[in-house]
Amino acid sequence: MIEWLFISTGLFLGWSLGANHAVNVFGSAVSSRMVRFRTAAVVAGVFVVLGAVVSGGGTTRTLTTLGAVNALAGCFTVALAVGLTIAWMTKIRLPVSTSQAVVGGIVGWNLFTGSPTDTYSLSRIVTTWLVGPFLAAVFAFAAFKIVTAVLRGRRMHILTLDAYTRTGLLAFGALASYLLGANNIGNVMGMFVPAVPFGDVSLGGLLTVGGTRVLFFLGGLAIAVGILTYGKQVMTTVGHDLYKITPLAGLVVVFAEVLVLFLFTSETLEALLLQAGLPTIPLVPLSSTQVVIGAVIGVGLAKGGKGIRYNVLGRIAGGWVVAPIVAGVSCYIALFIVQNVFALEVVRTSSYVITPEVRSELSQRGLDSQPLAQLDGKKIIGSAQFRQTLQRIQPWSEKQMVILFDCADLDTLVVDTVQAFTQREPLPLSPQQHRSLAAFHGATFEHRWTLDQALARADSSWREPPGTLPRKHVIAFLQLRERLYEIFRIRL
Amino acid sequence: MDILLRKTLNLEHQIDDYLDLVIRGALLFKEGLKCYCTGDIEHFTAHLRDLDAIESSADALRRAIETRLYSETLIPESRGDVLGLLESIDRVLNRTAETLTQFDVEMPDLIEELKPLFMELTEASMAAVESMVSAGRSYFRDPERVRDYINKAMFYEHEADNRGDQIKRKVFRMNIDLSWKVHMRYFAYHIETISDEAEDVCDRLAIATIKRSL
A345 is a domain residue: no
pLDDT reading at B2 higher than 70: no
pLDDT of residue B167: 95
Q: Which domain holds residue A143?
A: 2-340
CA of B52 vs chain A CAs: smallest distance (Å): 30
**CATH class belonging to B2-213:** mainly alpha
pLDDT of residue A289: 79
A199 is a domain residue: yes
A409's CB contacts (< 8 A; 6+ apart) are A350, A351, A352, A447, A448
Query: Is B2 part of the contact surface with chain A (CB cutoff 8 Å)?
Result: no
Which of A28, A158, A164, A243 to mutate to test binding with chain B, by most B CBs within 10 Å of its CB?
A158
Query: Is B74 part of the contact surface with chain A (CB cutoff 8 Å)?
Result: yes
Domain boundary among A359, A391, A410: A410
Which of A34, A148, A159, A166 to mutate to test binding with chain B, by most B CBs within 10 Å of its CB?
A159
Domain identity same for A196 and A109: yes
Which of B72, B81, B141 to mutate to test binding with chain A, by most A CBs within 10 Å of its CB?
B141
Query: Is B4 part of the contact surface with chain A (CB cutoff 8 Å)?
Result: yes
Q: Which residue has the higher pLDDT, A68 or B171?
A: B171
Domain identity same for A58 and A193: yes
Question: Is B141's CB within 8 Å of A158's CB?
Answer: yes
Mean pLDDT of residues grouped by 10 in chain A (492 residues)?
73 84 83 86 92 75 67 82 81 73 88 84 82 91 91 86 91 91 81 65 62 83 88 64 74 91 77 72 76 86 75 72 89 90 79 88 86 85 86 86 87 86 80 88 89 89 76 75 82 54
Q: Apex CA B59: angle with CA B56 and CA B63, to 5°?
A: 145
Closest CB to B78: pick one of A152, A158, A303: A158
pLDDT reading at B29 higher than 90: yes
Question: Which chain A residues touch B140 with a CB distance below 8 Å?
Answer: 157-159
| Count of domains for chain A | 3
Domain identity same for A366 and A430: no
Residue B142: CB atoms within 10 Å: 15
Question: Is A163's CB within 8 Å of B142's CB?
Answer: no
pLDDT of residue B110: 92
Domain identity same for A159 and A202: yes
Task: Compare all CA atoms of chain B with the CA of A302 and give the residue at the minimum distance.
Answer: B214
Domain identity same for A439 and A367: no
Query: Is B155 part of the contact surface with chain A (CB cutoff 8 Å)?
Result: no
Question: Which chain A residues touch B212 with a CB distance below 8 Å?
Answer: 158
Domain identity same for A367 and A223: no
Coil, strand or helix at A331: helix
pLDDT reading at B98 higher than 60: yes
Task: Compare all CA atoms of chain A with the CA of B145 and give the residue at the minimum distance.
Answer: A155
Question: Which chain B residues touch A165 with a CB distance below 8 Å?
Answer: none
Query: Is B140 part of the contact surface with chain A (CB cutoff 8 Å)?
Result: yes
Going by their DSSP bridges, the two strands A351-353 and A444-445 should be labelled as: unpaired
Phi, psi of A428 (to 5 degrees): -80, 70
Q: SS3 string of A110-142?
A: HHHHCCCCCHHHHHHHHHHHHHHHHHHHHHHHH
CA of A161 vs chain B CAs: smallest distance (Å): 9
Closest CB to A163: pick one of B4, B77, B140: B4
Which of A34, A157, A248, A303 to mutate to test binding with chain B, by most B CBs within 10 Å of its CB?
A157
Domain identity same for A248 and A157: yes
Q: SS3 string of B127-154?
A: HHHHHHHHHHHHHHHCHHHHHHHHHHHH
> d(Cα A225, Cα B176) in Å, to the nearest integer?
84
Sequence ranges of the domains in chain B = 2-213
CA of A147 vs chain B CAs: smallest distance (Å): 13
Question: Is A34's CB within 8 Å of B141's CB?
Answer: no
CA of B192 vs chain A CAs: smallest distance (Å): 32
Domain boundary among A313, A340, A367: A340
Domain boundary among A311, A340, A369: A340
pLDDT of residue A78: 87
pLDDT of residue A459: 87
pLDDT tens digit sequence for B172-190: 999 999 999 999 999 999 9
pLDDT reading at B170 higher than 70: yes
Coil, strand or helix at A257: helix
Count of CB pairs separated by less than 8 Å, A with B: 44
> d(Cα A450, Cα A469) in Å, to the nearest integer?
24
Domain identity same for A81 and A176: yes
Question: Is B76's CB within 8 Å of A33's CB?
Answer: yes
Q: Which of A453-457, B29-33, B87-91 is predicted least confidently?
A: A453-457
Domain identity same for A363 and A321: no
Question: Is B12's CB within 8 Å of A162's CB?
Answer: no
Question: Which chain B residues touch A307 with a CB distance below 8 Å?
Answer: none
Query: Is B76 part of the contact surface with chain A (CB cutoff 8 Å)?
Result: yes
Query: Is B214 part of the contact surface with chain A (CB cutoff 8 Å)?
Result: yes
CA of B6 vs chain A CAs: smallest distance (Å): 10
Question: Which chain B residues touch A162 with a CB distance below 8 Å?
Answer: 8, 74-75
> d(Cα A384, Cα B148) in Å, to the nearest integer?
77
Question: Is A155's CB within 8 Å of B73's CB?
Answer: no
Closest CB to B74: pick one of A156, A162, A246: A162
Q: What is this model's ipTM?
A: 0.86
- pTM attached to this predicted model: 0.77
Question: Is B75's CB within 8 Å of A162's CB?
Answer: yes
Which sign does the torsion angle of CA A273, A184, A54, A489 carry? positive
Q: Which residue has the higher pLDDT, B59 or A388?
A: B59
Domain identity same for A41 and A123: yes
pLDDT of residue A236: 64
Coil, strand or helix at A381: strand
Is the separation of the CB atoms in A234 and A253 below 8 Å? no
CA neighbours closer than 13 Å in the CB half-sphere of residue B70:
9
Any idea of the CA torsion for B167, B172, B175, B177, to the nearest 10 degrees? 100
Nearest Cα residue to A218 out of A44, A61, A41, A15: A15
The residues facing A201 across adjacent strands are A209
Region B93-113: mean pLDDT is 94
Task: Compare all CA atoms of chain B with the CA of A151 and give the residue at the minimum distance.
Answer: B142
Question: Is B76's CB within 8 Å of A32's CB?
Answer: yes
